[in-house]
Amino acid sequence: MWLAILVIVIASVAAFDVTVTNHWNGGFQGKFTITPDHALHGWRAHIICDRALDAVEIWKATVVETKNDGKEYVVENMPWDGEISERNSLEIEFVGRMSGDSAPSCTVTVDGVGGGGSNHQNNPSPTQHTGSAGGGSPIQPGTSVVGGSAMKYDYAKALGLSILFYDAQRSGRLPANNPIPWRGDSAVNDGDAGHDLSGGWYDAGDHVKFNLPMAASTHFLLLSFIKFQDAYKQAGQTNMMCDMIKWPLDYFLKCWIPESQTYYVQVGDGGADHSFWGRPENMNMNRPAFKVTASNPGSDVAGDTASAFAAGYIVFKTICGDIPYANKLLEAAKSIYEFAKNHQKIYSQSVPQANAFYGSSGFKDELSLAAAWLYKATNQDNYLSDAKQFHEAGVPWSLSWDNKNIIATLLLYEITQDGSYKNDVMGFIRSYKPGGGITYTPCGLAYRDQWGANRYAGNAAFVAVLAAADGIEASDYLTWAMSQINYILGDNKYHISYEIGFGSHYPEHPHHRGSSCPTTTTQCNAGDPGPNPNVLKGALVGGPDNQDNYDDRRGDYVKNEVACDYNAGFQGALAGEF
């Protein structure tokens, strides 16, 4: 009796084809759309293929059962997408893993729905590899999946490690509470004509101090601290973060001389610096300082620093509890912003020594962002007017040290609730998700560029968690962001954490001079095949190529470089996920 009823129900369910959007050797990406003829309050779908799959990875559902020797996967809705009203649609993407390089033919049935789905077939692109985080079931908050088995990732630990990386990058005379045992005082005589320029962060594995990426990293980190301060508190990292983030702010205050309208933007010559492989404590080369002035300005680097000062004002007033210091930062933010606004020029045109390393493409994004931050700090309408005037609408290629336009867009949306800003934010994240045009590695990393692949994915994930915090597509964006962070922390074909010190398997040969040199010698060799003697805890290495291949080799600075800006968005995304 029960069997007969079951047969009747299944017979009444319409089947429709899965649209294959991409395939590669070992997997394919497909999608289907549920368009019910009546309201659904929870749903169950059957993905049935003409040959067995090793695994199905799906974001908007969870795999509850596998049948017919792997040819059928039963999936159920996630808690946030079970409600589908009559004639509305829900598009669902998934990745199937199997042997071979041709996609199977698959159909979908939805229990209790007599039709309604996609039945067209697209031509797959042979060049775009897409996927989700490497595993076999959906990623839930606080967990990731490697090889089909659930594994808990400790985001709080990853966050604390990232803070330690910035402490390892400190230049100058280190404080008594220095948490990095293999670091000591260095470059304590940095300066120009008697003006003290010691302090700040070394940029990457080298020892130049570049203020444009340093300021960008600083206000990314401050933004994450403001938006996700509860996460820092839950991780037990509030005091460490206050201590860490004050270091670059103190340095920027040294660099900015409002009386003479002078801002020092670089210390160290890139060419001379890169010819030395050794610890910063052992440097003895000349370290020239470069500046922008009213007659030779730099609106981008000055604007970025204004953002760091204004965001720092909010942090030290509301979180770190140092009102006098906060007020000092606010006054500096106002004055350096006026300098940036009144003397408009790209800084790397004024300081050509920066051009080969951090040449800037423009300054409107920095001016818009600085004005938005100052409006948040002061509530003065003239800053909001400036932020709107300098803002450039549209979807940028990425979030990076050079282009901060998407953060300006987010802040303007928070301030105004204008739908045009929201649309650009959604367009940016859509461009990074599968089907949005970006290449994905087979294991699921959104691959924007070979230089700092993990950095770009982490930055995009940071934008996604910020948007989610602002109420934009929260569940979907958090799930996608988590797929990128979990890839970085281990959901990849090597099961390696690209954050050094996290887990038991991580890079041992980062392209970083201080980490690679023993503290007991004044000389070391970049070609030494052994692991770095000093563990650069928390550093995010550049990452894999577009096929998930990675070499833990110090000489491969494309895959194994580290940098202050590599960690900034990644750390913000970690904070936004718990």
Each residue's pLDDT tens digit, 144-172: 332 222 334 899 999 999 999 999 999 99
More confident residue, 13 or 542: 542
Q: Which one of the listed residues 552, 556, 565, 577 is annotated catalytic?
A: 552
How far apart (Å, rounded) are the C-alpha atoms in residues 144 and 135?
Answer: 8
Least confident interval from 26-35, 314-323, 556-565: 26-35
More confident residue, 10 or 517: 517
DSSP state of 413: H
Each residue's pLDDT tens digit, 469-497: 999 999 999 999 999 999 999 999 999 99
| pLDDT higher than threshold 70 for residue 141 | no
Domain range enclosing 375: 155-576
Shared-domain flag, residues 465 and 517: yes
Mean predicted confidence (pLDDT) in 185-211: 97
| Assigned token pair, 169 | 């990058």
For residue 478, report the phi and psi dihedrals to the nearest 5 degrees: -65, -40
Shared-domain flag, residues 336 and 441: yes
Beta bridge partners of 27: 24, 97
What is the per-residue pLDDT for 521? 87
Q: Please answer whether residues 338 and 258 qualify as being in contact, where contact means their C-beta atoms are separated by less than 8 angstroms.
A: no
More confident residue, 134 or 566: 566
| DSSP conformation letters of 25-73 | TTEEEEEEEE--SS-EES-EEEEEESS--SEEEESSEEEEEEEGGGTEE
Instruction: Work out whether the CA dihedral 180, 182, 188, 190 comes out positive or negative.
Output: negative
pLDDT bracket for residue 89 (50, 70, 90): confident
How far apart (Å, rounded) are the C-alpha atoms in residues 210 and 381?
Answer: 32
What is the per-residue pLDDT for 134? 32
What is the per-residue pLDDT for 41? 86
What is the per-residue pLDDT for 11? 34
Q: Please answer whether residues 418 and 467 qualify as being in contact, where contact means their C-beta atoms are separated by less than 8 angstroms.
A: no
Shared-domain flag, residues 162 and 121: no
Least confident interval from 117-121, 165-169, 195-199, 510-514: 117-121
What is the per-residue pLDDT for 327? 98
More confident residue, 405 or 142: 405
Q: Which residue has the tokens 């003397």?
A: 343
Mean pLDDT of the chain: 89
| pLDDT higher than threshold 90 for residue 174 | yes
| pLDDT higher than threshold 50 for residue 34 | yes
Is residue 269 among the annotated active site residues?
no
CATH of the domain at 118: 2.60.40.290
| DSSP conformation letters of 121-159 | -PPPBSS-----SSSSSPPPTTEEEETTEEEE--HHHHH
Q: Please answer whether residues 317 and 280 qualify as being in contact, where contact means their C-beta atoms are separated by less than 8 angstroms.
A: no
Residue 233 lies in a domain: yes
Residue 425 lies in a domain: yes
Q: Please answer whether residues 214 and 300 qualify as being in contact, where contact means their C-beta atoms are separated by less than 8 angstroms.
A: no
CA angle 398, 562, 442 (to 5 degrees): 60
Shared-domain flag, residues 79 and 120: yes
Tally of CB atoms within 10 A around 265: 28
Shared-domain flag, residues 111 and 176: no
Q: Which of 78, 110, 126 is the last residue of a domain?
A: 126
What is the per-residue pLDDT for 35? 86
| DSSP conformation letters of 504-515 | S---S--B-HHH
pLDDT bracket for residue 138 (50, 70, 90): very low
Residue type, 538: G
Each residue's pLDDT tens digit, 298-332: 999 999 999 999 999 999 999 999 999 999 999 99
What is the per-residue pLDDT for 80? 61
Shared-domain flag, residues 296 and 235: yes
pLDDT bracket for residue 461 (50, 70, 90): very high
Each residue's pLDDT tens digit, 429-460: 999 999 998 999 999 999 999 999 999 999 99
What is the per-residue pLDDT for 109? 92
Each residue's pLDDT tens digit, 218-272: 999 999 999 999 999 999 999 999 999 999 999 999 999 999 999 999 999 999 9
Shared-domain flag, residues 431 and 524: yes
Q: Which residue has the tokens 């194994």?
A: 560
Alpha helix positions (H), 297-452: 299-318, 323-342, 347-350, 355-358, 364-378, 381-390, 405-416, 419-432
| pLDDT higher than threshold 70 for residue 126 | no
Comparing CA positions, the residue from 97, 231, 89, 47 lying closest to residue 154 is 231
Residue 147 lies in a domain: no
| Assigned token pair, 557 | 């600075």
Residue 238 lies in a domain: yes
CATH of the domain at 383: 1.50.10.10
Comparing CA positions, the residue from 380, 368, 376 lying closest to residue 406 is 368
Shared-domain flag, residues 307 and 161: yes
Tally of CB atoms within 10 A around 308: 30
Q: Report the half-sphere exposure of 383 (CA within 13 A, side-chain side).
A: 25
Comparing CA positions, the residue from 570, 502, 499 lying closest to residue 539 is 499
Question: Which percentage of the chain shows pLDDT scores above 70?
Answer: 90
Burial (CB count <10 Å: 0-12, 13-18, 19+), residue 230: exposed
Question: Which percentage of the chain shows pLDDT scores above 90?
Answer: 77
Shared-domain flag, residues 72 and 160: no
| pLDDT higher than threshold 60 for residue 535 | yes
Q: Which residue has the tokens 């509850």?
A: 64
Shared-domain flag, residues 107 and 161: no
Mean predicted confidence (pLDDT) in 106-123: 60
Cα distances from 453 to residues 245, 287, 543, in angstroms, run 25, 31, 6
Is residue 72 among the annotated active site residues?
no
Residue 407 lies in a domain: yes
How far apart (Å, rounded) are the C-alpha atoms in residues 138 and 153?
Answer: 15
Q: Which of 126, 142, 176 is the last residue of a domain?
A: 126
Residue 538 lies in a domain: yes
What is the per-residue pLDDT for 233? 96
Residue 215 lies in a domain: yes
What is the per-residue pLDDT for 305? 98
Q: Which of 75, 108, 126 is the last residue of a domain?
A: 126
What is the per-residue pLDDT for 114? 54
More confident residue, 100 or 359: 359
Number of domain units in the chain: 2
How far apart (Å, rounded) are the C-alpha atoms in residues 239 and 169?
Answer: 18
Helical pair 419-432 and 453-469, crossing angle rounded to 10 deg: 140
Least confident interval from 78-92, 192-206, 521-535: 78-92
Each residue's pLDDT tens digit, 49-77: 999 999 888 867 888 899 999 999 999 98
What is the per-residue pLDDT for 30? 87
Tally of CB atoms within 10 A around 449: 14
Tally of CB atoms within 10 A around 452: 25
| pLDDT higher than threshold 60 for residue 121 | no
Shared-domain flag, residues 117 and 162: no
How far apart (Å, rounded) are the C-alpha atoms in residues 426 and 445?
Answer: 19
What is the per-residue pLDDT for 192? 97
Residue 137 lies in a domain: no
Residues 6+ apart with CB under 8 A from 389: 368
Residues 6+ apart with CB under 8 A from 126: none
Q: Which residue has the tokens 């300066």?
A: 191
What is the per-residue pLDDT for 120? 31
How far apart (Å, rounded) are the C-alpha atoms in residues 430 and 437?
Answer: 9
Q: Which one of the listed residues 476, 561, 565, 577 is annotated catalytic?
A: 561
Shared-domain flag, residues 97 and 178: no
Instruction: Work out whether the CA dihedral 460, 463, 469, 474 comes out positive or negative.
Output: negative
What is the per-residue pLDDT for 398? 96
Each residue's pLDDT tens digit, 186-195: 999 999 999 9
Mean predicted confidence (pLDDT) in 270-293: 95
What is the per-residue pLDDT for 112? 75
